[in-house]
Chain A
Amino acid sequence: MALLEVKHLGISFGGLRAVDDLNMSIEQGSLVGLIGPNGAGKTTAFNLLTGVYAPSEGTIVLDGESLVGKAPTEICKSGIARTFQNIRLFTKMTVLDNVKVALHNHVEYSLAESFFHLGKFSKREKEMDERAIDILKVFDLDGQADVLASNLPYGKQRKLEIARALATEPKLLLLDEPAAGMNPNETQELMDTIQLIRDKFHITILLIEHDMKLVSGICEYLYVLNFGMELAHGEPAVVLNDPKVITAYLGE
């Protein structure tokens, strides 16, 4: 069975059908792309998957567990993590603390231990530091662990967001336009990183992207949305040459 099964997913905002009858089946360990012109409903689909919006209809099943109607925090615990199109870091916290926040539910100690820094506090904090540094190393951010997140250059902020998402130990990682605003070199580096984390952390990745070089370079399967509806799906080479898809992007 596939890791993520989405069936007949839909949501309306008033009279607008933002997502309509979306069906997706994502296999464990795959790297899948979700593409479409601006306003096609890609980010809305992500918001449905992560519980920001409750779907008007349809089902979302992750690893045999239904996610419809669950809060974002519960969905995070079930194993979906995400990044955002417009970067959402904890800007006034350090790079290390950004990742440690994501470890909140994985390394625990009680409130009383927080008050007095006694008991398991030191041991668990040390464990958190080690785990966070391990993740930061993958993104080559460990040297800047004490820097405020807002002081990082743009490309590294994007990486930190992915690092933070990974710290929640997801089964499925959703990346919302990871290459937005990056130059070709940075994009190339990002592609390598995405493939590396997929292999290193054994996770499944679904990404929204407009950069077709990235999409055709690393995605194994594509879903195309247009006006909230599924336009096509299949292997990148086939989908990207589909006349319907080209029309949707470029017009008649």
Chain B
Amino acid sequence: MNKKINKSVIINIIMAIVAYGIVMALIYGGFLGRQAMSIIIPCCINVMLAVSLCLLVGFLGELTLGHAGFMSIGAYAGALTTNALNLPPMVELLIGLLVGGIVAAVFSLIIGLPVLRLKGDYLAIVTLGFGEIIKSVINFLGFTGGAKGLSGIGTYSNYKNFTFVYIFVLLTILVISNLVRSRHGRAICAVRDNYIAAEAVGIKVSKFKTMAFVISGFFAGMAGVFYAHNVGILKPGNFDYNKSIEILVMVVLGGMGNIKGAIVAAVILTALPEVLRSAADFRMLLYAIVLIAMMLFNNSKFRTVMIEKRNLKKAMSIQKEGE
């Protein structure tokens, strides 16, 4: 069994290096136009958001619709920090990331403690509400720039600093995927599968729910900091429930509780609107069609055979039989 794990670790490392190599080649090889360059970092940010939400939706099994709220808290906290500091850009960004992550985690804790007593649909609606409250409060406060937005943020995390952002993306993936394969992660999954049985074997349900919520909030906050330093201007309206739903779609599309799937879905769904730009008016229609097609594919026998058993020929024959 140990050998199997080592093999998959090596494959993952190779995949991470290959992905890095491809993106670097694209950036410095001159294959991409300005438009395409500008979605590289958003891809990274969305991967961080999707993977962190995956912990909640896929592994803790709780549907939350307020992820954009924690992202915005991180974004503002990070941006205000770097604006106040006067240090080399990368040092500022590093401090901003830490502050953004921690502030978002603290808010996750404050919001999570009461909210996580709810279950299922109720939790979804209340988190949606909290996401909107966060947005409104930011809109109302003075030091956040209100509806005018917060500007003058150094664009430290643009594509030229891809390596730096990429390291944090890998860190997010590493921590979350390691966590779910540890005793703490097992406890989180146990809460998902049957909280009564989890309690009966000594797992403190509310502790692990809160733990997952805080960890997820921390990484969403860091993603927010990268977002702030990528676009350079923050507006509360950018973090409404549409953003939360967008992240949720990535997680669902990736197959709940499938981190690799969430990563792929995040990249595809971020790049798709750009790829479809030439379709002009039909862009969002095509986006929706691709989404539906991906969902159908995800639930098909074809996928199971092709991806899980790595047998394309057999998959094609199943497809011909029409199931």
Q: How far in angstroms is the closest Cβ of chain A from B18?
A: 22
| Contact B194–A165 (Cβ < 8 Å) | no
Interfacial chain A residues near B181, Cβ < 8 Å? 117
Which of A89, A103, A128, A167 sits near B197, CB closer than 8 Å? A89
Q: How far in angstroms is the closest Cβ of chain B from A12?
A: 22
**Closest residue to B201 on the A side, CB-wise?**
A102
Which of A84, A93, A115, A116 sits near B186, CB closer than 8 Å? A93
Q: Which positions 137-190 of chain B face chain A at CB distance < 8 Å? A: 174-175, 178-179, 181-187, 189-190
Q: Do most interface residues of chain B lie in helix, strand or loop, or is the interface mixed? A: helix
Interfacial chain B residues near A89, Cβ < 8 Å? 193-194, 197
Q: Which positions 36-94 of chain A face chain B at CB distance < 8 Å? A: 50, 52, 71-73, 76-77, 81-82, 84, 88-93
| Contact B190–A115 (Cβ < 8 Å) | no
Report, nearest first, the 6 A-B pairs whose CB atoms are least far apart: A114-B182, A90-B193, A76-B202, A88-B197, A72-B199, A102-B201
Given contacts A90-B189, A93-B189, A104-B186, are A168 and B202 in contact (CB under 8 A)?
yes
| Contact A76–B183 (Cβ < 8 Å) | no
| Contact A114–B202 (Cβ < 8 Å) | no
Interfacial chain B residues near A167, Cβ < 8 Å? 201
Instruction: Report 5 cross-chain contacts, Cβ distance below 8 Å, ordered by A residue.
Output: A101-B190, A105-B202, A121-B182, A165-B200, A167-B201
**Closest residue to A80 on the B side, CB-wise?**
B200
Interfacial chain A residues near B211, Cβ < 8 Å? 111
| Contact A88–B183 (Cβ < 8 Å) | no
Q: Which positions 114-158 of chain A face chain B at CB distance < 8 Å? A: 114-117, 121, 124-125, 128
**Closest residue to B205 on the A side, CB-wise?**
A73
B283 at interface, CB cutoff 8 A:
no
Q: How far in angstroms is the closest Cβ of chain A from B9?
A: 9
Q: Which positions 201-221 of chain A face chain B at CB distance < 8 Å? A: none
Interfacial chain A residues near B186, Cβ < 8 Å? 93, 97, 100-101, 104
Given contacts A93-B190, A117-B182, are A73 and B199 in contact (CB under 8 A)?
yes
Interfacial chain B residues near A88, Cβ < 8 Å? 194, 196-197, 200
| Contact B203–A111 (Cβ < 8 Å) | no
Q: How far is the CA of A124 from the CA of B182 in the complex (A)?
A: 10
Which of B175, B178, B193, B203 sits near A73, CB closer than 8 Å? B203
B204 at interface, CB cutoff 8 A:
yes
| Contact B201–A109 (Cβ < 8 Å) | no
B198 at interface, CB cutoff 8 A:
yes
Q: How far is the CA of A168 from the CA of B197 in the complex (A)?
A: 12
Which size class do A's interface residues fall under?
35 or more
Q: Which residues of B contact A (CB under 8 A)?
A: 174-175, 178-179, 181-187, 189-190, 192-194, 196-204, 211, 257
Highest count of chain A CB atoms <10 Å: which of B175, B181, B193, B197? B197
Which of A101, A102, A103, A116 sits near B178, CB closer than 8 Å? A116
Q: How far in angstroms is the closest Cβ of chain B from A241?
A: 35
Q: How far is the CA of A107 from the CA of B198 in the complex (A)?
A: 16
Which of B183, B189, B194, B196 sits near A107, CB closer than 8 Å? B183
Q: Which residues of A contact B (CB under 8 A)?
A: 50, 52, 71-73, 76-77, 81-82, 84, 88-93, 97, 100-105, 107-109, 111, 113-117, 121, 124-125, 128, 164-165, 167-168
Q: How far in angstroms is the closest Cβ of chain B from A166?
A: 10
**Closest residue to B178 on the A side, CB-wise?**
A117
Interfacial chain A residues near B257, Cβ < 8 Å? 92
Interfacial chain B residues near A97, Cβ < 8 Å? 186, 189
| Contact A111–B202 (Cβ < 8 Å) | no
Interfacial chain B residues near A108, Cβ < 8 Å? 183
Q: How far in angstroms is the closest Cβ of chain B from A94?
A: 10
| Contact A165–B184 (Cβ < 8 Å) | no
| Contact B202–A73 (Cβ < 8 Å) | yes
Q: How far is the CA of A104 from the CA of B187 in the complex (A)?
A: 8
| Contact A93–B193 (Cβ < 8 Å) | yes
Q: How far in angstroms is the closest Cβ of chain A from B67?
A: 20
Q: How far in angstroms is the closest Cβ of chain A from B308?
A: 14
Interfacial chain B residues near A92, Cβ < 8 Å? 189, 192-193, 257
| Contact A114–B184 (Cβ < 8 Å) | yes
Interfacial chain A residues near B193, Cβ < 8 Å? 89-93
Q: How far is the CA of A52 from the CA of B204 in the complex (A)?
A: 13
Interfacial chain B residues near A107, Cβ < 8 Å? 183
Q: How far in angstroms is the closest Cβ of chain A from B4?
A: 10
Interfacial chain B residues near A52, Cβ < 8 Å? 196
Interfacial chain B residues near A121, Cβ < 8 Å? 182
**Closest residue to A110 on the B side, CB-wise?**
B184
Highest count of chain A CB atoms <10 Å: which of B174, B185, B190? B190
| Contact B182–A90 (Cβ < 8 Å) | no
| Contact B185–A114 (Cβ < 8 Å) | yes
Q: How far in angstroms is the closest Cβ of chain B from A143?
A: 14
| Contact A114–B179 (Cβ < 8 Å) | yes
Q: How far in angstroms is the closest Cβ of chain B from A38?
A: 21
Which of A71, A84, A101 sits near B198, CB closer than 8 Å? A101
